[in-house]
Amino acid sequence: MRQIVLDTETTGLNPRSGDRIIEIGCVELINRRLTGNNFHSYINPERDSEEGALAVHGLTTEFLSDKPKFAEVADALRVYVANADIIIHNAPFDVGFLDAEFARLQVPRFRNHVGEVVDTLVRAKEMHPGKRNSLDALCDRYGVSNAHRALHGALLDAELLAEVYLAMTRGQNSLGMDLGDAPATVDAAGAAAQLMELGAIRVLVADTVELLAHEATLKSLDNEVKGKSVWRAALDD
């Protein structure tokens, strides 16, 4: 499974008013592992950044003046992301800017070139309702170090988001077993059956100390939500 974590920096907030992309950063995940096959480019937007945006990314018009224009990197970007699933924090923002840049080149919209677009902001809000879900907040929540992030940068933010995404989705594959090269047969219904011998299952029962620690954790969760946590409710059921 090939996934690309993508981030952009822009001259402002609205591509419809002429704001442009000034930096694109992408990192590649294959089977949930970082490969080091990154894509990064600064881009000459042919206009100044708005004051608020400049304070965020620090990329001056002078610095960007000798960088390639979007048209010069568009083909390489399309080849890099082709058919991959794309992971973005607040996807409508970045995809809107990419669509606007592609439209200037009379190229089909960004989603036409890729697989699924995963919005980690939407997922974070579902997982942590009522909490702050900015990239910085998620880094804090999942223990991803962002101490070196003085200013926003597309490649750095994509790298941080990749670590956050892996932490957010850790365990999602636990329902499916990775059986490597174990032989498979197909039954009459066409379903694949893995042939492997299972050993005896060992059951470990929690001791008194572990049970007390578990109860203390449940109480702390109850205190945090000022009521009965979902874990407590599940036990009561």
When the pLDDT of each residue in the chain is averaged and rounded to a whole number, the result is: 85
Q: Is the pLDDT of residue 150 over 80?
A: no
Q: Is the pLDDT of residue 78 over 60?
A: yes
Domain 2-174 = CATH 3.30.750.24: no
| pLDDT tens-digit series, residues 82-97 | 999 999 999 999 999 9
Tell me the average pLDDT across 34-56.
96
Is 214 designated active site?
no
Is the pTM here over 0.85, yes or no? no
Give the pLDDT score at 213.
78
Catalytic residue among 57, 89, 113, 152: 152
Domain limits of the chain? Answer: 2-174
| pLDDT tens-digit series, residues 104-122 | 999 999 999 999 999 999 9
Res. 1 pLDDT band, cuts 50 70 90:
very high
Beta bridge partners of 119: 88
Give the pLDDT score at 231.
63
The residue type of 8 is T
Give the pLDDT score at 216.
77
Of 22-26, 149-153, 180-184, the range with the lowest mean pLDDT is 180-184
| pLDDT tens-digit series, residues 190-204 | 444 344 455 566 677
